[in-house]
Structure 1
Amino acid sequence: MNIKLRSCKSRFAGGMALLLLASSAPAAVNAASGGQAQAPVTLTMYYPGTESPDEAVVEEAINHYLNMKIGVSLDLRPYDWANYNNKIKVMIAAGEPMDLFFTAGWLNFKQFADINVLRDLTPLLARYAPDMMKTMNPLYLKGTAINGRNYAVPTQMNNVTWKGLLINKQLADKYHFDIAGIKKLSDLEPMLKVIKAKESKATPLFGKIADFEGLASYQKLAPDSPGSLMPGGGTKVANEFASPAMSSLLAQYYRWTTKGYIVPSRQAFNSFQDQTLFSSQASVQTFAVLTSSANYDTASQLQTATGQSWLEVRLQAPLITNENLTAGMLSVSSLSKHAEDAVRVINLLHANKKLLDLLDWGIAGTHYRADAGSPGMITPIGKGYATSGPWMFGNPGLTYHTKADAADPNIWARGKKIFDKAALSPVIGLYYDPAPNAESNQAVNSLISNFNANMDRAPQDPATALPKLQSRLKQAGIAGVIADKQRQVDAYLTEKHKLAVQQQALAQ
């Protein structure tokens, strides 16, 4: 698992001058009739997290600020992570008029949009979120739109994914390794040999079988599911398990386990990040980590978790996918009676540091204090208030950070530079639907899952294991899965082209 950085009406009646003021004046100033003062609109805001002892105090401070800015109040409704998704589904089924609520690609965003649970925000954003629209990279909204419509606003996390290695700098410096000379995975082997021979307590490489497999493709279209876009940037879907690259990578994995460079018993967790967070093995030194899902800040996160510096070796360039753009989003319920106000709050969360600091960290001097040695960094005080961190809301680059979520105070600025230059998936905006071929999808996914679990626990020679897997995948219907993925990719690209033509015609 990637560590995450755990780190919204005023309407005026009358002439044109009052209409021009409506986008910025607080709702409490005038009523629609007679200039009578109105109570601020209160919006419910649901998100995953733990209710804090000082939540009411922080909410009061947030609302004092929001009332002055836009005449709106927030009723914060955090629910613990284990129950949040079910809670939202129950409220949707009951027809509860939620205003703002957190969603994501991995939290039913596409499904909710398809069944009209989410308000179409497209016509509201330019009018009620002007500050955000001026500063946000257009890719965030373009890349998360469904058929050209925006049903949620993504958090500006500058999230990209790359595949490659993280190298322990201390050990690399000790043995004068030429890290810049690593251009392909096999270039690592001489270094692993040295570490194995001279560092008896160190693990030469943490590398799960799935990370080796990840290097064989350019982009998976669904987690744990064969049928991917292959290196080269095209849109042809192929069975990566039938590729020469896969055979070579699995052979390398097996060879390195037999040589003791990879130690299965030291890889009980799904990722090295998990291990450093949740295992006593975090104190065991590791030289290299293979990952197929690193982000721009993974090295910084590992430094925080392990106390050691890590060097990045990218074997595939940073790529922006749906998963990156939809990792954290705020939606407005289609039943909300205050959608305009909700979008105003979203606007502030993307443009107003004061509001973000209050929501993310609480009250200065009570819940955190500034870190005198690192501008922009803070140290939490006590346990009176806490959220899951700045990654969840608005523009995290505006708010404070702690050493627990950013060892380097400049990491967010560097992340933005990487995001702005990263390659964009050719199928950004495509959400693969396994339902048309559900039985075969389930069967092949189960085969891959079992194969990987067995290879991680007790590695087998892929010269015999891979042909057996291919035979079972064929019987389970992998050809149909690949064909259906290709059909969905082709249909998406055709629709995307039609939409672009329509938008161009409207702009002329």
Structure 2
Amino acid sequence: MKQVKQKTSMLLLMMMTIVLIVSGCSGNGNKNNAEATKEPAAATEKPAATEEEPPANELKPYQLSLVYPGTPQTDEKKIEEALNKILTEKINATIDLRPIDWGAWDDKINLMVASQEEVDIVFTAQWNGHAKYVAKGAFLDLGELLEQYGKGITDSLDPAFIEGAKINGKNYGVPTNKELAALGGIVYRKDVTDELGIDMTNVKTPQDLDAVYAVIKAKRPDLTPLYTTGGAFNSHFFANYDFLGDSTIPGAILKDLDGTKVAAVEEIDRYKEFLNLTRDYFKKGYINADAATTQVSSSDAWKAGTVFSTLEPLKPGKDAEVASAAGLSGKLAQISMSEKTVATSETAGSMLGVSFTSKDPARAMMLINLLHTDKEINNILNFGIEGDHFTRNGEIITATDNTANYNPGSAWMFGNQFLNYVWDTEDPEKWAKFKEFNQNAKVSPGLGFVFDSEPVKAEVGALANVIRQYQRALETGSVDVDKTLADYEKKLKDAGVEKVVAEKQKQFDAFLASK
């Protein structure tokens, strides 16, 4: 892994000349398998380490690529141009926004890592294989970069995010400053329930949705009662599974309880209960028939106007956020259905990592730092150009005729959400409520623990293939539960799931003993 180290000479202080040293794997103590095949990064002129970004005129021009999941936007180039004017002045950089459709994200990011494609900043998350990619050497250890170029991040971000996102004591991603707690539930079309006279006040559990969905299916056949592309009720945020660092690796505890026994979720009663409920809803036609295969994200389905409800990780104003992105402002509402919790999955639930293939990791960190500190840059990336994609009155923004051409709905991915403007359809006290929301959540016994998969990496690789074959079809209700689950569990055992769970339990026990 490349490490950025700086040396200054008193004799050359006025010239502010900097040398980048790219250390070899044997020389810096880091263990990225891919490092041996990487070419040294091109040197970039930078001043000595300071608490702020160096003057732009002391940096060579550089284009930064930002890779993240999301629907490409019509006015993307216009946004790049607006950002480039500011970034050139601040850090002498330009930006290449590279959104990848959600449906293709997993396959494309896997290929990007495997092919060692040169990129700079990549979205990563605990629930999206972060630990797995760290083990493959995909992301740089950010320790020195954070210290030299991330003061705005460390000053503004709750220390729980930084600590909770560490793997073996090191940060490989910078968490987004957003909600710290997790709460599962649904977002639904309130205008439709009002129209049909459906009373939603009695809906407290997933089972209570049966009667609601039956009415929607009968009276609004143009709407899919429950649109999903993944785990439905067994989504980690809904069922409160704590996978102890990476939800793509088997072995979990229930984070809303106090138990510390690690088990494959397929053996947990809650998992089986939700599988059967999801299968029942699928057979009744409540769930989209293509749930196991579709690449149409829920946000795009909302925009198409064909959805009654989706399962969501909730927070204050989640319904208004979804509505704004979908052009349904004022028409949605939300209902929570789980206990509010905090686990590593939240502290590391949305991060930006610096790729080991980046030619200028320091510049990448400068941009991430700006996303945490610069209100103008943050809001252009998230909402577009004032006077074009929105109008503004103080902190409140209003949609325009051109909002649809840049409305990515991805503010939870980038930097510091507390810098975000608030749509006029949202609660003006949104950010104060976020801070309140982050308090008094049930803390998972596994908070701060991240599983090191290195001792069982062969089994983890084999299990990934089995999971890819069975999990999505099973958890969307698309296949028979009894037969498919039995086959799935057998294949998991054959691939080494028991060995992985035992290793996770061993490491977790050591973590608990050290507290």
Q: Is the Cα–Cα contact under 8 Å of residues 342 and 447 in structure 2 kept in the other structure?
A: no
1:482 shift after superposition? 4.5
Does the residue aligned with 1:206 lie in a helix, a strand or coil? coil
1:56 shift after superposition? 6.9
1:184 shift after superposition? 3.6
Counterpart pick for 2:98 among 79, 84, 96: 79
Q: Provide the residue aligned with 2:50 in structure 1.
A: 23
1:39 shift after superposition? 3.6
Letter in 1 for 2:263: A
Q: Provide the residue aligned with 1:483 in structure 2.
A: 498
Does the residue aligned with 1:414 lie in a helix, a strand or coil? helix
Counterparts in 2 of 1:99-118, with a 5 A limit?
100-105=120-125, 109-110=130-131, 113-114=134-135, 118=139
Is structure 2 residue 297 aligned with structure 1 residue 277?
no
1:312 shift after superposition? 1.2
1:407 shift after superposition? 4.8
Counterparts in 2 of 1:149-160, with a 5 A limit?
149-158=170-179, 160=181
Q: Provide the residue aligned with 1:228 in structure 2.
A: 252
Identity among equivalent pairs (%): 17
Letter in 1 for 2:50: S
Superimposed CA distance per residue, residues 385-415 of structure 1 (whole angstroms, 9 cap, x where no aligned partner): 8878544432132133667xx8555545433
Between the aligned partners of 2:223 and 2:399, the Cα distance in structure 1 is 34
Counterpart pick for 2:335 among 302, 308, 312: 312
Counterpart pick for 1:352 among 370, 374, 382: 374
Q: Is the Cα–Cα contact under 8 Å of residues 164 and 447 in structure 2 kept in the other structure?
A: no
1:47 shift after superposition? 0.8
Q: Provide the residue aligned with 2:159 in structure 1.
A: 138
Is structure 2 residue 318 aligned with structure 1 residue 303?
no
Q: Is the Cα–Cα contact under 8 Å of residues 181 and 340 in structure 2 kept in the other structure?
A: no
Is structure 2 residue 82 aligned with structure 1 residue 58?
yes
Between the aligned partners of 1:390 and 1:77, the Cα distance in structure 2 is 17
Between the aligned partners of 2:121 and 2:197, the Cα distance in structure 1 is 51
Q: Is the Cα–Cα contact under 8 Å of residues 213 and 286 in structure 2 kept in the other structure?
A: no
Between the aligned partners of 1:249 and 1:267, the Cα distance in structure 2 is 18
Q: Is the Cα–Cα contact under 8 Å of residues 251 and 500 in structure 2 kept in the other structure?
A: yes
Larger of the two Rg values belongs to structure: 1
Between the aligned partners of 2:80 and 2:489, the Cα distance in structure 1 is 58
1:441 shift after superposition? 5.5
Counterpart pick for 1:417 among 436, 457, 460: 436
Cα gap change, 1:76 to 1:108, in 2 (>3 Å): farther
1:137 shift after superposition? 0.9
Does the residue aligned with 1:156 lie in a helix, a strand or coil? coil
Letter in 1 for 2:377: L
1:490 shift after superposition? 2.6
1:329 shift after superposition? 0.6
Q: Provide the residue aligned with 2:66 in structure 1.
A: 47
1:136 shift after superposition? 0.8
Does the residue aligned with 1:120 lie in a helix, a strand or coil? coil
Q: Provide the residue aligned with 1:506 in structure 2.
A: none
Between the aligned partners of 2:488 and 2:168, the Cα distance in structure 1 is 33
Counterparts in 2 of 1:72-471, with a 5 A limit?
72-79=91-98, 81=100, 85=109, 89=113, 92=116, 100-105=120-125, 109-110=130-131, 113-114=134-135, 118-126=139-147, 128-158=149-179, 160-170=181-191, 175=197, 177=199, 179=201, 181-189=202-210, 199=219, 201=221, 205-206=225-226, 210-214=231-235, 218-220=241-243, 227-230=251-254, 232-246=257-271, 248-253=273-278, 260=284, 262-264=285-287, 266-269=288-291, 274=297, 277-278=300-301, 282-283=305-306, 286=308, 289=310, 291=311, 293-294=313-314, 297-304=317-324, 305=326, 306-307=328-329, 308-322=331-345, 325-331=348-354, 333=356, 339=362, 342-360=364-382, 364-365=386-387, 367-372=388-393, 375-376=396-397, 379=400, 389-400=410-421, 407-408=426-427, 410-425=429-444, 426=446, 428-431=448-451, 433=453, 435-437=457-459, 438-439=461-462, 442-443=465-466, 446-452=469-475, 455-456=477-478, 465-466=481-482, 468-471=483-486
Cα gap change, 1:312 to 1:92, in 2 (>3 Å): same
Q: Is the Cα–Cα contact under 8 Å of residues 64 and 121 in structure 2 kept in the other structure?
A: yes
| RMSD across aligned positions (CA) | 4.9
Q: Provide the residue aligned with 1:5 in structure 2.
A: none
Q: Provide the residue aligned with 2:39 in structure 1.
A: none
Superimposed CA distance per residue, residues 465-497 of structure 1 (whole angstroms, 9 cap, x where no aligned partner): 52x345434542438754234323234335646
Q: Provide the residue aligned with 1:472 in structure 2.
A: 487
Between the aligned partners of 1:322 and 1:273, the Cα distance in structure 2 is 24
Range moving further from structure 2, 44-53 or 483-492 = 44-53
Between the aligned partners of 1:52 and 1:194, the Cα distance in structure 2 is 40
Does the residue aligned with 1:149 lie in a helix, a strand or coil? coil
Between the aligned partners of 1:117 and 1:225, the Cα distance in structure 2 is 17
Give the paired residue count: 452
Between the aligned partners of 2:443 and 2:257, the Cα distance in structure 1 is 13
Range moving further from structure 2, 168-177 or 136-145 = 168-177
Range moving further from structure 2, 130-139 or 163-172 = 163-172
1:353 shift after superposition? 1.2
1:313 shift after superposition? 2.7
Q: TM-score, normalised by structure 2?
A: 0.67
Cα gap change, 1:193 to 1:361, in 2 (>3 Å): closer
1:131 shift after superposition? 3.2
Structure 2: runs of 5+ lacking an equivalent: 1-5, 17-47
Q: Is the Cα–Cα contact under 8 Å of residues 85 and 107 in structure 1 kept in the other structure?
A: no
Letter in 1 for 2:504: V
Cα gap change, 1:130 to 1:478, in 2 (>3 Å): same
Does the residue aligned with 1:315 lie in a helix, a strand or coil? coil
1:380 shift after superposition? 8.0
Letter in 2 for 1:46: S
Q: Is the Cα–Cα contact under 8 Å of residues 427 and 493 in structure 1 kept in the other structure?
A: no
Does the residue aligned with 1:350 lie in a helix, a strand or coil? helix
Structure 1: runs of 5+ lacking an equivalent: 1-8, 30-37, 67-71, 502-508
Q: TM-score, normalised by structure 1?
A: 0.68
Superimposed CA distance per residue, residues 175-199 of structure 1 (whole angstroms, 9 cap, x where no aligned partner): 47362x44444444555666678x4
